[in-house]
Amino acid sequence: MMSSFVLSDEKIDIGIDERLGSVIPKDAMFFDEAGNEVLIGDLTSGPTVLTLVYYDCPGICNPLLFELSEVMNRSELEPGYDYNVVSISIDKYETPELASKKKKEFLSGFDKDISEDSWKFLTGNIENIKKVTESAGFYFKREGDELRHAGALIFIDGNGKICRYLFPSYSENYGYGILPFDFKMAILETSQGKEIPTIARVLRFCFSYDTEGQNYTLNFTRIFGIGILILAGIFFIIIKLKPKKEIVKAR
């Protein structure tokens, strides 16, 4: 599923509703690639890039993780020092063995040395998965053996607070892409605890997400309503500013 964010105020089943300022539960427990129990709070003591994916995903997950590894490789910021990365499988059936395989696959593509502890690949039960996804406004749905979901990088500060969502761009010719500058700025701003909304927040009232077509459509009713309010405001201002004619009494 290529779609990355939700632009409607209605209840959604699939997509991402930005929850800036929301705190990821520190007591959410998962298993790392070695099968050890870990708490999210112990992995997010500094700026952290969170990805909610699943490792056998036939859609956006692997391209997203690949682009993340590429931008990490090109960035002057150092994983394990300037930031950490945590990938959590949203599929309750996936195992630490699969997570370990996926981790080796992505770490092998780095040109520079990277600490294995700087990028964690986690699995867990549905209760803990939901703790994280719901706090992040990440909605997904199982259909058969696959999960329909969106994709984004979620930036968390040292207190577990969500500061930024970064959605990869997409083109048919080049696939997914993450700009190194955007990645760097997101980490630096997150390290300062700044909450930065994406363009999705600005466009929220203009588009609605079509879960069947998996795309975005103009919400003409909402746009028309906003247009009426703007015109009414302009008309009111004109009336208020229009000079009043003086009434001259006849003598």
pLDDT number for residue 227:
72
- Cβ within 8 Å of residue 164, ≥6 positions away: 20, 154, 155, 186, 189, 190, 194, 195, 196, 198
Q: Domain for residue 168, yes or no? A: yes
The residue assigned the tokens 């300062």 is 192
pLDDT number for residue 216:
46
- Length of the chain measured in residues: 251
Q: Domain for residue 172, yes or no? A: yes
| Domain coverage including residue 78 | 15-208
pLDDT number for residue 16:
92
- Number of domains composing the chain: 1
Q: Residue 73: give its domain's CATH number.
A: 3.40.30.10
Q: Give percent of the chain with pLDDT exceeding 90.
A: 60
Q: Domain for residue 106, yes or no? A: yes
Q: Give percent of the chain with pLDDT exceeding 70.
A: 78
Q: Domain for residue 107, yes or no? A: yes
Q: Nearest CA to 158 among 211, 225, 83?
A: 83
pLDDT digits (tens, 9 = 90+) for 165-219: 998 876 665 566 788 899 999 999 999 999 988 754 444 445 444 444 444 454 5
Q: Is the pLDDT of residue 98 over 90?
A: yes
- Cβ within 8 Å of residue 31, ≥6 positions away: 37, 38, 96, 99, 122, 123, 124
pLDDT number for residue 197:
83
Q: Domain for residue 244, yes or no? A: no
- How far apart are the C-alpha atoms of 21 and 162, rounded to whole Å? 5
pLDDT digits (tens, 9 = 90+) for 139-171: 999 998 899 999 999 999 999 999 999 988 766
What band does 57 get if pLDDT is binned at 50, 70 and 90?
A: very high
Q: Domain for residue 169, yes or no? A: yes
Q: Domain for residue 219, yes or no? A: no
Q: Domain for residue 7, yes or no? A: no
Q: Both tokens of residue 251? A: 């003598």
